[in-house]
Structure 1
Amino acid sequence: MKKILKWVGLAVLVIGALWAASFFIKSNSKSPIEYETHKPFISSIEKKTVATGKVIPEDEIEIKPQISGIIEKIYKVEGDKVKAGDLIAVIKVVPNEQALYQARGRVNNAKVALNNAEIEYNRNKKLFDKGVVSAQDFQNLQLQYEQAKLELENAQNDYQIILKGSAGGSSSANTNIRATVDGTILEIPVEEGDQVIQSNNFNDGTTIATIADLGKMIFEGKVDEGEVGKLKVGMPLKISLGAIEDKEFDAKLKFIAPKGVEEAGAVQFKIEGDVEVDDDFMVRAGYSANASLTLEKKDSILVIPEALLQFDKETDKPYVEVAVGEQEFERRDIEIGISDGINVEIVSGLTEEDEVKQWNKTEPIKKGLEEEGEESE
Structure 2
Amino acid sequence: MKKFMKIAALVLIAAIFIGTFVFLYQKSQPEEVSYQILKAETKDLVQTTVATGKIEPRDEVEIKPQISGIIAEVYKEAGQTVQEGEVIAKVKVIPELGTLNSAESRVRLAEMNGKQAETDLERMEKLYEGKLVSNEEYEQTLLAAKQAREELQAAKDNLEIVKEGITKSSASFSSTLIRSTITGLILDVPIKVGNSVIMSNTFNDGTTIATVADMSDLIFRGNVDETEVGRIREGIPVKITLGALQNMKFDATLEYISPKSTENNGANQFEIKAAISVPDSVTIRSGYSANAEMVLQHAEGALTIPESALEFSNDSTFVYVLTDSVPVQKFERRQVVTGISNGIDTEVKQGLKAGEAVRGLKIEK
Give the structure-1-normalised TM-score.
0.83
Find the aligned partners of 1:104 and 1:234 in 2 and give their Cα distance: 63
What amino acid is aligned across from residue 235 of structure 1 in structure 2? I
The change in CA–CA distance for 1:35 and 1:63 in structure 2 (over 3 A counts) is: closer
Question: 8 Å contact 1:35–1:357 — kept in the other structure?
Answer: no
Q: How does 1:239-254 map to 2 (within 5 A)?
A: 239-254=240-255
SS at match of 1:191: coil
Q: How does 1:172-321 map to 2 (within 5 A)?
A: 172-312=173-313, 315-321=314-320
Find the aligned partners of 1:34 and 1:66 in 2 and give their Cα distance: 79
Q: How does 1:92-241 map to 2 (within 5 A)?
A: 92-170=92-170, 171-241=172-242
1:303-360 per-position Cα deviation (integer Å, ceiling 9, x unaligned): 2222222233xx431122334566554333221100112211121222225x232153
**Per-residue deviation, 1:37:** 4.5
Does 2:97 match 1:76? no
**Per-residue deviation, 1:249:** 1.2
What amino acid is aligned across from residue 47 of structure 2 in structure 1? K
Question: 8 Å contact 1:335–1:348 — kept in the other structure?
Answer: yes
SS at match of 1:260: strand
SS at match of 1:358: strand
Does 2:349 match 1:350? no
Question: 8 Å contact 1:53–1:219 — kept in the other structure?
Answer: yes
Find the aligned partners of 2:360 and 2:119 in 1 and give their Cα distance: 115
Find the aligned partners of 2:51 and 2:318 in 1 and give their Cα distance: 33
Find the aligned partners of 1:138 and 1:146 in 2 and give their Cα distance: 12
Does 2:45 match 1:55? no
Find the aligned partners of 1:176 and 1:76 in 2 and give their Cα distance: 12
SS at match of 2:361: coil
Find the aligned partners of 2:203 and 2:129 in 1 and give their Cα distance: 57
The change in CA–CA distance for 1:138 and 1:228 in structure 2 (over 3 A counts) is: same
What amino acid is aligned across from residue 201 of structure 2 in structure 1? N
What amino acid is aligned across from residue 150 of structure 1 in structure 2? E
**Per-residue deviation, 1:213:** 1.1
Find the aligned partners of 2:203 and 2:340 in 1 and give their Cα distance: 56
C-alpha RMSD over aligned residues: 2.2
Find the aligned partners of 2:91 and 2:358 in 1 and give their Cα distance: 80
What amino acid is aligned across from residue 334 of structure 1 in structure 2? V
Question: 8 Å contact 1:308–1:356 — kept in the other structure?
Answer: no
SS at match of 2:174: coil
Q: How does 1:33-44 map to 2 (within 5 A)?
A: 33=33, 37-44=37-44
**Per-residue deviation, 1:196:** 0.8
**Per-residue deviation, 1:270:** 1.8
Question: 8 Å contact 1:64–1:206 — kept in the other structure?
Answer: yes
Matched residues, number: 334
Question: 8 Å contact 2:336–2:352 — kept in the other structure?
Answer: yes
Does 2:361 match 1:360? yes
**Per-residue deviation, 1:161:** 0.4
**Per-residue deviation, 1:137:** 1.8
What amino acid is aligned across from residue 86 of structure 2 in structure 1? D
SS at match of 1:47: strand
Find the aligned partners of 2:257 and 2:128 in 1 and give their Cα distance: 78
**Taking every aligned residue pair, what percent have the same amino acid on both sides?**
42
SS at match of 2:318: strand
Larger deviation, residues 141-150 vs 198-207: 198-207
What amino acid is aligned across from residue 318 of structure 1 in structure 2? T
Find the aligned partners of 2:92 and 2:59 in 1 and give their Cα distance: 29
Q: What is aligned with 1:11?
A: none
What amino acid is aligned across from residue 316 of structure 2 in structure 1? K
Find the aligned partners of 2:108 and 2:74 in 1 and give their Cα distance: 37
**Per-residue deviation, 1:85:** 1.8
Find the aligned partners of 1:122 and 1:70 in 2 and give their Cα distance: 47
Find the aligned partners of 1:104 and 1:113 in 2 and give their Cα distance: 14
Find the aligned partners of 1:72 and 1:332 in 2 and give their Cα distance: 81
Where in structure 2 are there 5+ consecutive unaligned residues? 1-24
Find the aligned partners of 2:90 and 2:360 in 1 and give their Cα distance: 77
Where in structure 1 are there 5+ consecutive unaligned residues? 1-23, 369-377
Find the aligned partners of 1:115 and 1:337 in 2 and give their Cα distance: 96
What amino acid is aligned across from residue 352 of structure 1 in structure 2? A
Find the aligned partners of 1:154 and 1:304 in 2 and give their Cα distance: 86
Question: 8 Å contact 2:322–2:359 — kept in the other structure?
Answer: no
Question: 8 Å contact 1:320–1:356 — kept in the other structure?
Answer: no
Larger deviation, residues 317-326 vs 339-348: 317-326
SS at match of 1:211: strand
1:101-122 per-position Cα deviation (integer Å, ceiling 9, x unaligned): 1111111111111111112222
Question: 8 Å contact 2:60–2:212 — kept in the other structure?
Answer: yes
